[in-house]
Amino acid sequence: MSSLVRRTIIICALIGFASALTSTYVHYQLVHDPTYTTFCDVNESVSCTQVYQSRFGTIGNVPVALLGAFWFGLVLLLSVAAGHGFASLGESIGGYLLVLSTFGLAAVLFLGFESFVVLGVVCLLCTVVYAAVFGIFVASSAIPSVPMLSLPRRVADDLGRLIRTPVALGVTGGYMVLALAAVLGFSTAPVSVTSPVGSVSDSASAIPLVGGESEFERFWNAEPRVELPVPREGAQVLVLKFNDYQCPSCAQSFFLYEPIFARYESSHPGAVRHVSLDYPLDPECNEETPRGGHLGACEAAVAVRLARRDGRDEQMARWLYEHQETMSRETIRQGLVDVAGMADFDELYEATLSDVKEDIALGSMIGIEATPTFVINGVTIKGGLQPQLFDTAIALELDRASADTGSQ
């Protein structure tokens, strides 16, 4: 392995390692503080948080970013070993790096597709990691005379050399212990709770308690509350969602929270009311967003309201979320025809748009800055919560309502 190739790999690995560690730190903060915002959350389309909190951000509660940091660390160890006392392993190390970088490239291609295409979100820190992995792959591919066919046999020989070298064995062992401790630390993170069923008392054992109160419960009870003129209709918990049907995060929260609402409706019929309020980031109807880029969001909001007349509003909302990538004013009209059989969109548009503007006025009352924004019994949450914490918040409010009823 030439010194140029080795330096290139080390530089890329250092950049990727730093980015992955930063991503892990951000992920840790999000787990422990649901309201945490990071420097790489620029807008709805450029957001690290949305990617980290998606189903692609973790594997068994362990952040993908943390696994990436260990991958870069291993690449660094191999690269340094190739030029410092382990020159005899040079050819083998080149092969190991090529194998590692091939798997790494496959991983980032998958994650990049899920981020850019499926979620429709750019994660700046993730993009730096992707570029670093690609650089390592290109540099590893330039290593000449890599004996790939003999690599399996060389593994046993190299492990023997490792065992006979105290320094190398100590460094490798320490690295493995550190990696295992970090993985175990995240897999038992205090606020990564399992979804509660029924009430928070049933699920509180899943959250370590501090002074008899869970960490999330302390956060939740300390939050200020606002009052909005939206009827509860007998519900103990009122969940308001200020929504934009062209917002990727709004679509994500719709599908993530849907089973939570369904379960509470089954276990506590009528106790939890979920109301979707319109806050389109479209200057056509929302003067609060003069630079809003969701042209067509006003039409989408009107389409859902028109479908509501025939009880097809949920189906229309689902259709809009599923067709975000191809959504336009024309496709919205056709979607309303396909879902609700309504072809009089243009005739009813202006009258229905006034209702949309009433929701916008409600959002302006509490200073909505982005979508989605949830208000759960008066507690405002910008961007939403992880599904487990969202579930816990509802359970807490149900317990609170039951306690209030019992004390009367």
| Residue 270 reports pLDDT greater than 80 | yes
Q: Locate 180 and state its tokens.
A: 């295992």
CA dihedral 314, 318, 324, 330 (to 10 degrees): -60
3 or 9: which carries more pLDDT confidence?
9
pLDDT tier for residue 193 given thresholds of 50, 70 and 90: very low
Average pLDDT of the segment spanning 255-283: 94
CA-to-CA dists, residue 313 to 267, 302, 379, angstroms: 24, 10, 26
Of 77, 302, 308, nearest in space to 176 by CA: 77
Region for residue 212 given its phi and psi (left: phi exceeds 0; alpha: psi -120 to 50; beta: otherwise): left
pLDDT tier for residue 132 given thresholds of 50, 70 and 90: very high
pLDDT tier for residue 317 given thresholds of 50, 70 and 90: very high
Average pLDDT of the segment spanning 71-87: 75
Whole-angstrom distance, CA of residue 172 vs CA of residue 165: 11
Whole-angstrom distance, CA of residue 293 vs CA of residue 120: 14
pLDDT tier for residue 407 given thresholds of 50, 70 and 90: low
Q: Report pLDDT for 91.
A: 61
Task: Specify the 3-state DSSP secondary structure of 341.
Answer: coil
| Residue 35 reports pLDDT greater than 70 | no
Which range (50-54, 194-198, 345-349, 395-399) has the least confidence?
194-198
Region for residue 225 given its phi and psi (left: phi exceeds 0; alpha: psi -120 to 50; beta: otherwise): beta
pTM: 0.56
Whole-angstrom distance, CA of residue 1 vs CA of residue 93: 9
Average pLDDT of the segment spanning 363-370: 88
313 or 384: which carries more pLDDT confidence?
313
pLDDT tier for residue 186 given thresholds of 50, 70 and 90: low
297 contacts 360 by C-beta, under 8 angstroms: no
| Strand residues in 93-205 grouped as ranges (E) | none
Whole-angstrom distance, CA of residue 192 vs CA of residue 188: 7
| Residue 155 reports pLDDT greater than 70 | no
Whole-angstrom distance, CA of residue 363 vs CA of residue 251: 19
Average pLDDT of the segment spanning 189-218: 42
Phi, psi of 81 (to 5 degrees): -60, -30
Which range (159-163, 298-302, 340-344) has the least confidence?
159-163
Average pLDDT of the segment spanning 15-19: 94
Whole-angstrom distance, CA of residue 122 vs CA of residue 129: 12
What domains appear along the chain, each with residue ranges and CATH number?
Answer: 3-187 (1.20.1440.130), 200-407 (3.40.30.10)
